[in-house]
Every structure is written in structure tokens, then in C-alpha cells.
Structure 1
């Protein structure tokens, strides 16, 4: 096992929940500190407040990974007599780094919404709505026959040609390449000023936008020509499609009353708010962690009998009654399932990578509401 710094931890984390999955408005990523410091312990929490920072200090954690961003809105100034300022000051004084994984962790497979769906024992789950798709390109490159295998391998190793569970996918066709090098050229084949014909192979691969620069660098390094001929064509389709929320089915139908009790136990909350006839039968369930009231129509269109989400307001609840869509509101804090989920996932990833890091689960209750 080897010691690591914050950069290595976050690079590993982002193989699971990359920042590109996040919504445009979401301030995910490093919020306080710097990632080039050594990390031996990471504290996973739902929120970041002064109690969480004190917990990190007491337990010896150098890095906090939280679901809810500490700095959700940009600060124009840092005054240390304000709540946010005190937290930032304390983190800096104690060399604690704060990293936020918000909607990217909602979207990621095995993230917040999958954890909630698993807790509710939903089966055959799919995203409630698409929120992310990676733009695709087709790279077409022409190369001498004897270099084709090396170029294909380099492109595949850089991330081109990944289709579903298959890697290094490509298509090729033999043809004739013609060119005349100028007097200043240094051709790999042929002589300056003389027309040349070469038997070449046309290689086609598909690549996602996020790997474009890496693939192009690999192409230029592997290709023998001084000026490789290639086309990079944007495609209409996307890959790596992800989505917010989940929708699935129960193994057996339940009444809304019974499912509400089940949800309360499964999500470990003291109470839930319910909209709808408590004796109606429930089979298909939509779930979205946090505030999901603006997605009621997506839940209805997907055929959900009940929608489990937090922060439901009165008028939206009335609209759900009219839609005959039952609601169970376990509160925003039900997302706390991510604490154990993230800690266990990252413990496994670190073990596989050979990283010597201890993953701590926050024991501070950050639920704002008290239920009497």
C-alpha cells in the first residue's frame, strides 16, 4: 500500500462520479484548500458545517468529501465572523481540504439515487430522466499499411473505439494515398518535389468528447507522417447517457400506507409526508434524492404510482393529487445514505489502487428539522 495526496484521491473518485456529470449551475469540485497535500484519512459527510469540520479535526481527517457544497453561492468576501467565513478559516488553519460532489454523485451509477433505490428495494431501475450524454466524434485517419496496427493500438489505448462493453473497436479499408512533398518537407515516404502513391489504410474510430485531446495526442505521436491526413467529424448520437433520479418496481405490490412505513424504515427517517389515498396499490416507484418537486411530470410520464422525493411544497402536492401521483416526502436529509455508500465505494477503489487511506463516515447529525 502506498501513501497518496488529495489529487490522487479525487482523480480516483472522479473515475466514478466525474464532474462532467454535474448540472451547469452546480459548484462541484474542490471548494477549500489544495489537493497536493498528503491524505491519510477522508471524512465523508452529507453537509459541511462547523461541527463537521470539528469532527474532521478530532478524527484526524485531512479531506472532507461532502454531497452538499459548502459554498453553494459564490462568496464576494470572506469575513471570519460569518458562519461560512469561520468554516473556511478553520479549514485553512487545520489544513483541511473540502470537496463537493453534488449532482454528479446524484447521476453516477451507484451514487445517491441508486443508493436510495437500493434501500427501497426497487428492481429493474433506470434513470428517471436523462441529464447527461457525452458528444461523440468519428475520427478517420489515413496511414501506411505497416503502421496501421500501431496506430489502432495507440488510439484504443487513449480511449477511442469504446462501444458499450467493447474496446479498441475500429473499421478500416485499403486504398491509395497520393501526395507531393514540398522542398521544405521531410517526408516519411517519398522525396521532396516528386509525386508519390502509397498503399494506405483508412482507419475509423468513434471517440467521446472528453477523450478528444488525449486521442489526438496519441494519433500524432503514433503516426509516422509529418502531416497526417485525418477527419474529425461530430456525430448526432451521444454515449455514456446518464440521468437524474431512478424508477423501478417493487417485488410485490404494497399499499401506499405500507410502502410509506417501508420507506421510513429503509431511509432511516423519523417521519414521512404522504400525498394520496393510503390504501391504493403501489407497484412502480420513482425516487429522486434532495429536492425533486419540479420533476413530478417526468415521474407521472414514466408511469410511477408513487414518487419519493424531498422538499415537496403545498401547491406541487396539490398538483400531484390532480395527477393521481402519490408522493412520499422523506425530507432532503434522506440523502444521508450517501455517507456509507461513498465510504464503502471509495474504500474498495482505494484498495484496488493500492492506496493507504482510511475512510471515515461522519457521525454528526446535520438534519435541520426536529420531529416532535
Structure 2
């Protein structure tokens, strides 16, 4: 079995930490570099339920997309939930490694996995990494459908391809709009609206769209044949496909080195929203009408 240090070196070759954003917190959070690794669990969030799953499945290493301590800390005491996660992992000899924005920018990266999950053929990054002469790395991806769909049909395809969450998908645009090209960004993507408009795609699929950026994008689209329409999915759902992609990448490395690692992908839904209620008291037919 390989040592943790060897596995981490392989993961950092896939997602070099120097390619993470300056504000990010990636890399090894806890774990003994000399410890042996036989089982690895991949997940989006390093929350209590996932830490328990890592212990229950006998994982020696937990790899998550989201950092545990994004804004830093002065204590790992078990008086808070993050400290309890650290204590649980260390007590049970489970290391924790984070690949966040370095995995977003990678080739393949988080948005490649998202594009594949909704049936897109990737043609390039939405925001190319200037340090990549091949032009394959960067934030987000631009993709094409094999055959045109309506916006309603594409939204249904996305809903089927992504894991189920309580909030589902929100759609802004004409349901009958023809869709051929789609920009995707795993996780929060409303900071990339300028790049999406410059790309001239029919639809933008991402997560965490706020009211004002979404409204402005929709209003701007009125003067550009409705483009881009918007499909807003749950943050966790847009990044979960990366876990399967990442596990497959580590499987290939393990086979090449004869490590015989066993990789697992957590299917614990860690999206924070647990229910969806629809109001029946207000319709869009005449929102200004007195009651």
C-alpha cells in the first residue's frame, strides 16, 4: 500500500495547489504523511455526516472539494462542528485533503464533469487560464449538444443528469428557445456573466445565482434573442459529478503504480436545503393587482 505522502503527491499533480485562488485553502488538512493508504473517499463537503461515512467505510483518506477551514482558524477544539470533524478524523486515522479552485481550473476539472453529466461536448474553457498554452485549463466550460433541444428539454436533461436536491433546478428563459451551445460553471457562477455574454451561448448552467445578476442577465438577453437563458442548480449538485471523475483519475494512477487502492464516492446529500415548498397564493399573471 502507498504512503499518504505518495497519494497526496499524485493528487497535487492532478490539481497543483499553486493554481488555486489566493484566497483559497487547499491541500492536506490533517493526516500523517507516513501512514499507509488503502481506501479513499471522495465528497464535496467535509461535514460531520461525511466524516462519519469516511470512518464507517474504513477510509484512510477523505478528499473533499470544499475546504474545511476556508477562512482560517486559531483552534481545532471540538467545541465547534469543524473541530469535531477534525477530532473524529484524527481519532480514526483518516486524513483530509482539499482540492478546490485548483480542481476548478484543472484539465479535466469540475466543470468538465458537470458538462459530461448534462450531455455536453466540451469545446473549451469559459475563462481560459493564461498560463496554459494548450488552452484547455480555466474556469467554466463551453459545450455543445449533439442535437438541438428546447430550453425546457435541456432543463429536463440537466435535472436527470445531476443528483436530486430539494430545490431542484430554476430556469429563466423561453421554454421553447432552441439550445445548441451551453456554458457551465460548477459552483457559484454569477461572477462570470460577462464571460458568458461574450461567449454568445444559448444557456448558462451554474449555481447560486443571485437576484440582481440574474435579473440583469435576463434583461440584457431581451436585446440578444433571449440569450443566455439561465439554469440554476444546487451548488452541491453541480460539483458532485467531479467526485466520480476524481475517483476515476485516482483509480488510473493506482493501477499504473500497482497501489491497489479502493476508491469510493460519497452519495450523502450535503446540500443544506432539505425541503421545497411552493406558494399558491401569488401568481405571475398580474403581480401588481390589488388584493
Q: Distance in 2 between matches of 1:319 and 1:249?
A: 25
Superposition pairs for residues 1-372 of structure 1, below 5 Å? 3-133=1-131, 242-270=137-165, 271-324=168-221, 325-334=228-237, 335-372=239-276
Deviation for aligned residue 1:309: 0.4
Contact 2:122 2:141 in 1 (8 A): no
CA spacing shift, 1:241–1:252, aligned 2, 3 Å: closer
Q: Distance in 1 between matches of 2:102 and 2:248?
A: 18
Structure 2 residue aligned with 1:213:
none
1:346/1:74 CA distance change after superposition, 3 Å:
same
Unaligned runs of 5+ in 1: 135-237
1:100 CA drift (Å): 0.2
CA displacement at 1:124 relative to structure 2: 4.3
Q: Is the 8 A contact 1:273 1:330 kept in 2?
A: yes
Give the SS at the match of 1:38. Answer: coil
**How far 1:80 moved relative to its partner?**
1.3
Q: Deviations over 1:91-149 (max 9, x none)?
A: 22222110000111112112211111112221242000024516xxxxxxxxxxxxxxx
Name the structure where strand makes up a greater proportion of residues: 1
Shift in Å, 1:240: 7.0
- The 3 A distance-change label for structure 1 pair 363 and 124 is closer
TM-score (norm 1): 0.69
SS in 2 for 1:110: coil
The higher radius of gyration belongs to 1
Q: Any gaps of 5 or more consecutive residues in structure 2?
A: 222-227, 277-291
Write out per-residue CA displacement over residues 182-236 of structure 1, whole angstroms, 9 at most, x where no aligned residue. xxxxxxxxxxxxxxxxxxxxxxxxxxxxxxxxxxxxxxxxxxxxxxxxxxxxxxx
How far is 1:350 from its partner? 0.7
Q: Is the 8 A contact 1:133 1:241 kept in 2?
A: no
Q: Distance in 2 between matches of 1:132 and 1:120?
A: 27
Q: 1:363 to 1:321 in 2, by over 3 A?
A: closer
Higher mean alpha-carbon deviation, 108-117 vs 306-315, is at: 108-117
Give the whole-Å Cα distance in 2 for the aligned partners of 1:241 and 1:258: 29
- Per the alignment, in what secondary structure is the counterpart of residue 11 of structure 1? helix
